[in-house]
Amino acid sequence: MSTFTRGSTSKSTGSTSDGKNGTTGGTMNGTTGGTLKATTAEADRRPRLSGMTWLVWRQHRAAFWTILAATALCVAWIVHQRGRLVDFLDGYGYPGKSLDEAGGTFQQYGDAFSFVSLGLQAIPILLGVFLGAPLIAGDLENGTAKLVAAQSMSRTRWLATKLALAGLVVVVSTGVLSAVFGWWWNPVKSEAMVMDWTSGEAFNTTGPVPVALTLFSVFGGVAIGVVLRRTLTAMVVTFGFTVVLQLVWGYFLLSLGNVVTVTTNKGVTDENVFPSLPHGAYEIDQSYVAGSGDLVGWGTCSGSLTDAARQVCLDKEDVVGWSVRYLPLSQMNAMQWFGASILFALTAGVVAFLFLWGRKRLV
């Protein structure tokens, strides 16, 4: 009896053990299989580049990743500088105390703005030369364009993908830098001693202007490369094009706004007779106003004249007050969008030219 009992117990134990192992194995296999299927399904749902998009990204991934990485580093540095600026302003008591009284204490912050602004102004030139010019010219020069044209993909789709990816990288990088730089500058935006808002170092580095300038520079470089079909030559010509673009843009910058004129008729020699301009306004010019309403150049009765001789000159010219022309700071945003819309329109024209040219003469 005792032997039979031990055997039965042993068999029962073995059966139980086998059942447990079977259950465990089935559970583990089922769980593992389910996990693998879930992982595969999640991987399939992740956005992945394919086809022509993957090809173009892979071809230019070094340039694209370099631009995005440099943007991230610059953003991190600007965020750090903004924190330092805010701490200084809070400790100094701004805006209750004028920054003119800070003297050299504020100089390091002003230098930081100038340094970063100089780098941001160079972005349209750098990307136009090193991204725009070689984008298509390199493929035309080394024969890659002919290989692409021999495939099932159309030349139009290939060109559109190239322009779309390059444009996306440009918009993301310059848009982020513009927003962050404007956020850094905003606490002292009305202070001309930091940055004059009508100068290129402020106007061309904030708002939509950096995006528009860089897009036009890059796509202009693409068009130059398509026409010249030689990478190095296209880069040299694009450099000249982007530099001239910056000069012309700077020359017409002030014409984007509506000039405001303010006049007085209480004389010009007494105290507190000069017109009071809004804080942050950019003064374009000033003149004397004669009794007839005509303008007299302010240099007419100035120079080395004595006070008595100057008064005689003013009486002779019948000067009764001042006339001052200026641009208020409140117009900056509207001026930027107006200028950017012009650049966007020019960029659209360049893109249209590229597609018309590409249909017949791209390869």
Domain boundaries, the chain: 51-256+332-361, 260-330
- CA atoms within 13 Å, Cβ hemisphere of 23: 6
Contact (CB, 8 A) for 309 and 181: no
Task: Give, in order, the Cα–Cα distances in Å from 201 to each of 109, 114, 209, 332.
Answer: 15, 7, 11, 13
How many CA atoms, within 13 angstroms, populate the side-chain half-sphere of residue 178?
A: 22
Q: Are strands 260-263 and 319-327 parallel, antiparallel or unpaired?
A: antiparallel
Q: What is the DSSP string of 259-274?
A: -EEEE--S-SSSTT-S
Q: Tally the C-alpha atoms within 13 A of residue 124's C-alpha that lie toward its C-beta.
A: 29
SS3 state at 297: strand
Do residues 219 and 351 make contact, with C-beta atoms less than 8 angstroms apart? Answer: yes
Tell me the whole-structure pTM to 2 decimals. Answer: 0.81
State the Cα–Cα distance between residues 158 and 137, nearest whole angstrom. Answer: 14
Cα distances from 105 to residues 60, 86, 190, 210, 245, in angstroms, run 45, 14, 19, 30, 37
Per-residue pLDDT of the chain (363 residues; tens, 9 = 90+): 444 444 444 444 444 444 444 444 454 455 455 554 545 445 455 556 556 788 888 888 999 999 999 999 999 999 999 999 999 999 888 888 888 887 778 888 888 999 999 999 999 999 999 999 999 988 888 776 666 665 666 778 888 999 999 999 999 999 999 999 999 999 999 888 889 999 999 999 999 999 999 999 999 999 999 999 899 999 999 999 999 999 999 999 999 999 999 998 888 887 788 888 888 899 999 999 998 888 888 788 876 777 788 888 888 888 888 999 999 999 999 999 999 999 999 999 999 999 988 776 665
